[in-house]
Chains A and B, each alone.
Chain A
Amino acid sequence: MAERVFPMPDLGEGLEDAEIVAWRVAVGDRVALNQPLVEVETAKATVEIPSPVAGRIAALHAEAGATVAVGAPLVTFELEEADAGARVAATPPVRRLAKELGVDLAGVRGTGPGGRITAEDVRAAAGAPSPGSRRVPVDPTRRRIAENLERQAAIPQVTTFRTLDCSALEALRAELRVSPLPIVVAALAATVRDHPMINATWAGDAIEVHGSVDVGIAVDTERGLLVPVLRAAQDLGIAEIAAGIARLADAARAGSIAPADLTGATIAVSNTGSYGSEAGTPLLAPGTAATLALGRIEPRPLVVDGAVVARPAVTLSLTFDHRVLDGAAAGRALSALVERLRSPDRLRDLPR
């Protein structure tokens, strides 16, 4: 026979105790659910307490006239077996989880406070491993990035690829003591002169072809991807471009970048090679019709003069707005860029 101790309930709002006026039952009596047990008087009211269960009275814990604290034992019942098993304590989310995992709560032993079944108990019963997953709240920067990406992803865009032999590029960068990126930016700005449509913006009823090459530079920061803008790259030498990119990247990583420096790109470059990728398929940066991704420069087997040789090489990916450019036009622009970057003579023509 299971027993259940029924404590003195709080019969008002925040009462501390109640006085027993008269018992309506005696030890040994069988009682029905809601059958009056006892009349008690509180600071607020005289009330009759109905039985919370059907069962037999095993003990009455106070005499008439005694004061019983809220929460102290009032009556102990011996329960019918069916009634004893009927109380399964679990919170609604735990019940939902049990339903999802197909666990019958009646067969689960609760390890929570007061024997309550916890989510862990249910997972253990289901044989499911406790998941290590967690929910990371989305901060405003992440949300803005996500919204931008969703907007950008809606643009019809395709990516075209070329492998670049970097022998000449590597030689120049060693000479100038810069990374490849400023040289690629300078070459891209020079390419725009002959291929103006890669430096354009789809404006719905017109295509805006820009007079200035304002290059968005994708920068990985702790707060996520930012794209600060290097203005008028067509007028800058490689050293100025290198300094400008360094200044913008530092400001972006420090979080001190001005909002004006994050908008208005007319073309963009993403250096996916900086984190080891061979090649990327970038989404168009906002406002641009072309975004170039630069992979990692590493030795590759290239065919030179009919023989396979190891050369430093990189994959360039050009994603373009297909509304602005057809594949042939974009392919010609990328080829022009590649030709410029692999030719020692044409590299030397770039403003230093």
Chain B
Amino acid sequence: MQPPEHWRGTEPVRILAPDGTPVGEPDVGLDPEGLRSLARWMVLARRLDRECVALQRQGELTVYPGFEGQEAAQVGTAAALGPDDVVFPTFRELAAALVRGVDPVRYLWYHRGTWHGGPYDPRATGFGPICVPVATQLPHAVGHAIGTALDGRDVVTVGFIGDGATSEGDFHEAANLAAVRRAPCVLVVQNNGWAISVPTAAQTAGEIWRRADGYGMPGVRVDGNDVLAVYRVVREAVERARRGGGPTLIEALTYRIGAHSTADDAARYRDPEEVERARAFDPIARYTAWLTAAGHLDEATLAAWEQEAERFAGRVRAELVEQGPPPDAWLFEWVYAAPPATFEREREAALAALGDEAAGP
């Protein structure tokens, strides 16, 4: 089995080999129920992800960035957090959002062209708004962490980014500030090998986790398709941050099975054989193989999860589709606290032309 190109170099922290054989200590402090829930979330998330791609193809979502292949990196990270901890996502963390309790229907409204950032409540869910501009959420995450520390609150903040975002200035500013202020945060890079059409090798010459040393914080490279390893590494980083030990940079090696989003065709820039090779490192198959061998999972339970996932995807579809198109008036809502007259005139003219009801929510 040939691992993806960008996994070369330093061996990552790993508990389960790609075939599910333990190569490290599988006791990460979870009871069998906790261990099973990691697998269940991954099954639900993958099924929903595929439904979302179909919904975009059917005109129900405007555009959708799939996360297939990255379930372990997201579920493992989200599950390792405490109830009051806060996540600042990119635009590809639906799996993490599910685990954190975000309503997927409200999350997906964003992809129906409704509210910027998604209309779920970031405070109630501890899950920040969907952030499309690359890397901008990382300074937000570090600022949030510094703020909670100043407030004396027991909160650890996780900022997700991708490999491409590590080339942005915002990454440097956030990482440097986090380390120098010993902010209680964890910066999780999901290195999935591709920044849209740019492979990691064309993105960065070094290994991303090593940059932590330059900033003066611990760096960890973890097999992002090994949910147990991700859980353990993130858990340790979160506990260190909670004790006042400052931030950690984690590079989770994973692989983007699908296109960057439904708006591009990966076959035009990526060899489809590379994808087939990467499927051998599938996070769900690896983990369920170990769970089964360890006696924590049987076929009936796995089949029940798959049925549950089917119903779950159907419910999300039904609730999304029945929303209808967003009212035209929403184009103009939440732009200004006190709209200037020019904006009001533009709004009136546009709504009159569209013949839509003028009332927002």
Task: Give A contacts to B, CB under 8 Å.
Answer: 6-7, 9-13, 34, 44-52, 86-93, 96, 112-114, 116, 118-119
Closest Cβ–Cβ distance, residue B160 to chain A (whole Å): 23
Task: Give B contacts to A, CB under 8 Å.
Answer: 51, 54, 56-60, 62-63, 119, 259, 262-265, 267-268, 318, 321-327, 355-357, 359-361
- What residues of A have a CB within 8 angstroms of the CB of B318 in the complex? 86
Q: Are A34 and B265 in contact (CB under 8 A)?
A: no
A50–B25 alpha-carbon span in the complex (Å): 43
Partner of B57, one of A13, A49, A86, A87: A49
A-B contact pairs, 12 of them (CB 8 A): A9-B56, A9-B59, A11-B262, A12-B262, A12-B264, A34-B54, A45-B265, A47-B265, A48-B57, A51-B58, A93-B360, A113-B325
Q: Which 10 A-B pairs have the closest CB atoms?
A: A9-B59, A45-B265, A89-B324, A93-B361, A52-B58, A12-B263, A50-B54, A13-B263, A49-B57, A34-B54
Closest Cβ–Cβ distance, residue B318 to chain A (whole Å): 7
Q: Are B63 and A13 in contact (CB under 8 A)?
A: yes
A50–B51 alpha-carbon span in the complex (Å): 10
A48–B56 alpha-carbon span in the complex (Å): 11
Closest Cβ–Cβ distance, residue B120 to chain A (whole Å): 12
A43–B360 alpha-carbon span in the complex (Å): 35
A90–B359 alpha-carbon span in the complex (Å): 13
Closest Cβ–Cβ distance, residue A89 to chain B (whole Å): 3
Q: Are B323 and A92 in contact (CB under 8 A)?
A: yes
A86–B321 alpha-carbon span in the complex (Å): 10
A51–B55 alpha-carbon span in the complex (Å): 9
Partner of A92, one of B60, B63, B262, B361: B361
- What residues of B have a CB within 8 angstroms of the CB of A86 in the complex? 318, 322
Once A34-B54, A45-B268, A46-B265 are accepted as A-B contacts, the answer to whether A114 and B324 lie under 8 Å apart by CB is yes
Q: Are B322 and A87 in contact (CB under 8 A)?
A: yes
Q: Which residue of B lies closest to A90 (CB)?
A: B324
Q: Are A88 and B322 in contact (CB under 8 A)?
A: yes
Q: Which of B63, B265, B324, B356 is most buried by chain A, counting CB atoms within 10 A of its CB?
A: B324
Q: Are B59 and A113 in contact (CB under 8 A)?
A: no
Q: Which residue of A lies closest to B53 (CB)?
A: A50
Once A10-B62, A86-B318, A112-B357 are accepted as A-B contacts, the answer to whether A47 and B323 lie under 8 Å apart by CB is no
Once A44-B263, A44-B265, A45-B264 are accepted as A-B contacts, the answer to whether A91 and B59 lie under 8 Å apart by CB is no
A92–B120 alpha-carbon span in the complex (Å): 13
Partner of B356, one of A48, A49, A89, A113: A113
- What residues of A have a CB within 8 angstroms of the CB of B268 in the complex? 45
Q: Are A116 and B324 in contact (CB under 8 A)?
A: yes
A116–B329 alpha-carbon span in the complex (Å): 14
Closest Cβ–Cβ distance, residue A31 to chain B (whole Å): 12
Q: Are A47 and B57 in contact (CB under 8 A)?
A: yes
Once A45-B268, A113-B356 are accepted as A-B contacts, the answer to whether A91 and B361 lie under 8 Å apart by CB is yes
Q: Are B265 and A113 in contact (CB under 8 A)?
A: no
A92–B58 alpha-carbon span in the complex (Å): 21
- What residues of A have a CB within 8 angstroms of the CB of B60 in the complex? 52
Closest Cβ–Cβ distance, residue A276 to chain B (whole Å): 36
Closest Cβ–Cβ distance, residue A39 to chain B (whole Å): 11
Q: Which residue of A lies closest to B360 (CB)?
A: A93
A113–B324 alpha-carbon span in the complex (Å): 10
A88–B319 alpha-carbon span in the complex (Å): 10
Task: List 20 additional contacts besides A11-B57, A45-B263, A93-B359; criterion CB under 8 Å.
Answer: A11-B263, A12-B263, A34-B54, A44-B263, A44-B265, A45-B264, A51-B58, A86-B318, A87-B322, A89-B323, A90-B323, A90-B324, A91-B323, A91-B327, A93-B360, A113-B325, A113-B356, A116-B325, A119-B357, A119-B359
- What residues of A have a CB within 8 angstroms of the CB of B323 in the complex? 89-92
Q: Which residue of A lies closest to B55 (CB)?
A: A52
- What residues of B have a CB within 8 angstroms of the CB of A34 in the complex? 51, 54
- What residues of A have a CB within 8 angstroms of the CB of B265 in the complex? 44-47
Partner of B59, one of A10, A90, A92, A93: A10
- What residues of A have a CB within 8 angstroms of the CB of B59 in the complex? 7, 9-10, 52
Closest Cβ–Cβ distance, residue B158 to chain A (whole Å): 29
Q: Are B259 and A87 in contact (CB under 8 A)?
A: no
- What residues of B have a CB within 8 angstroms of the CB of A93 in the complex? 359-361
Q: Are B264 and A44 in contact (CB under 8 A)?
A: yes
Partner of A13, one of B62, B321, B357: B62
